[in-house]
């Protein structure tokens, strides 16, 4: 089994359903002062550079009891992220290179995407995951075919053209390279799709950025500015964004620190190659997007409209999250309490903005 799928609540891996108690309690939770809370946030977009603490925060949020989760504006959590698709593409490219075929996605294991528009492909795959929620529709009997069909559909949609047509050598070789992982991924995506009933909060994690030395506005297709519009209106119109802020230098350091041998498929313990960190995550544009709208919301410009998405910053430049990779039984009480206060303040900002929209 791939490491990422074996870690409960670490989801890049297995996005599990954490249904802590009667879901109806979250639809109208009573606060201590007697105030009745609003329905939970349907979606939270977790943004930030690699190793900023996004996955660790998901693990913590998934551990909350119902009353604590309700104070954050959350229901039982479901988890989605796009790292499994990056891992799939690396597996496919490795197999294709070994067979002497065009690697499609990556020229080497330590290199960035061959074409940056693949960042848009990743976002569209996440949007497709959202579209299947509640249906259980996660492919037919053959997992590798399901996954390659999905990737081909999005490659074609962004103008790169389908690369794995039925009967081609590329399809056969890529399918062989991703088969085991595709089976795990389909199982966990299907589990989430079937579990969703509209009462949960879906946490969607993804990192976007640009090369070292660049500054916003980043050119297409780099950064959050170009990826956010790929999500459907049902997400953007009801979501909050939690941006986990670290500097690029700190992101690079923590990325080295978290990487473990054999952790390539794990959302908590994979390491992003150094060349990728410098060329694709040397900066990002979420703070810039916030500043364009007064610091309280991100304006997402789609083809049809401008949507204001409430947003807050969780300042993690001083590390408040790395301890969450450890066994929960060992989490220091004082660190948990400090983290909880910071998170509650950040979610309060999102909820305040939501209340006035």
pLDDT at 122: 98
Give me the pLDDT at residue 259, please: 76
In tens, the pLDDT along 39-61 reads 899 999 999 999 999 999 999 99
The Cα–Cα gap between 73 and 59 comes to 16
The pLDDT value given to residue 262: 73
Please list the alpha-helical segments (H only) found in 196-293. 224-227, 233-236, 248-258, 274-280, 286-291
Burial of 238 (0-12, 13-18, 19+ CB in 10 A): middle
- Which two three-digit tokens encode residue 12? 């890049």
DSSP classification of residue 29: P
What are the pLDDT tens digits along the chain (357 aa)?
A: 332 322 333 333 333 333 333 333 333 333 444 343 578 999 999 999 999 999 999 999 999 999 999 999 999 999 999 999 999 999 999 999 999 999 999 999 999 999 999 999 999 999 999 999 998 665 666 999 999 999 999 999 999 999 999 999 999 999 999 999 999 999 999 999 999 999 999 999 999 999 999 999 999 999 999 999 999 999 999 999 999 999 999 999 999 998 777 766 566 667 899 999 999 999 999 999 999 999 999 999 999 999 999 999 999 999 999 999 999 999 999 999 999 999 999 999 999 999 887
Q: Which residues pair with 245 in a beta bridge?
A: 315
Residue 83 phi, psi (nearest 5): -60, -40
d(CA 146, CA 136): 14
Which residue has 């952790």 as its token pair?
A: 263
Gap between the Cα atoms of 333 and 238, Å rounded: 33
What is the DSSP annotation of 171-202?
A: HHHHHHHHHHHHHHHHHHHHHHHHH--SSSEE
* Nearest CA-CA partner of 214 in 167, 262, 297, 281: 281
């Amino acid at each position: 089994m791939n490491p990422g799928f074996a870690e409960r609540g670490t989801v890049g891996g297995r996005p599990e359903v954490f249904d802590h108690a009667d879901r109806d309690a979250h639809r109208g939770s009573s606060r201590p002062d007697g105030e009745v809370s609003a329905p939970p946030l349907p979606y939270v977009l977790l943004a930030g550079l690699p190793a900023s603490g996004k996955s660790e925060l998901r693990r913590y949020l998934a551990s909350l009891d119902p009353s604590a989760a309700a104070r954050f504006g959350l229901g039982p959590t479901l988890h989605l992220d796009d790292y499994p698709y990056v891992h799939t593409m690396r597996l496919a490219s490795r197999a294709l290179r070994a067979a002497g075929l065009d690697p499609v996605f990556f020229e080497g294991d330590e290199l960035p995407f061959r074409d940056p528009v693949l960042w848009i492909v990743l976002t569209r795959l996440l949007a497709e995951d959202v579209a299947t929620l509640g249906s259980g529709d996660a492919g037919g009997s053959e997992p590798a075919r399901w996954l390659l069909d999905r990737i081909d559909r999005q490659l074609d949609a962004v103008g790169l053209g389908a690369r794995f047509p039925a009967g081609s050598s590329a399809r056969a070789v890529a399918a062989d390279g991703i088969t085991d992982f595709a089976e795990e991924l389909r199982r966990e995506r299907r589990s989430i799709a079937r579990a969703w009933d509209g009462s949960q909060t879906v946490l969607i994690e993804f990192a976007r950025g640009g090369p070292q030395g660049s500054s916003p506005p980043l050119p297409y297709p780099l950064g959050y500015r170009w990826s956010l519009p790929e999500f459907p209106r049902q997400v953007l119109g009801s979501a909050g964004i939690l941006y986990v802020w670290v500097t690029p230098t700190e992101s690079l350091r923590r990325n080295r620190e978290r990487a473990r041998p054999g952790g390539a498929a794990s959302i908590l313990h994979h390491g992003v190659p150094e060349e990728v960190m410098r060329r694709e995550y040397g900066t990002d544009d979420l703070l810039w997007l916030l500043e364009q709208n007064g610091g309280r919301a991100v304006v997402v410009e789609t083809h049809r409209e401008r949507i204001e998405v409430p947003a807050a910053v969780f300042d993690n430049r001083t590390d408040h999250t790395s301890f969450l990779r450890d066994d929960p039984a060992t989490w220091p009480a004082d660190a948990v309490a400090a983290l909880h206060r910071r998170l509650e303040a950040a979610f309060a900002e999102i909820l305040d903005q939501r209340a006035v929209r």
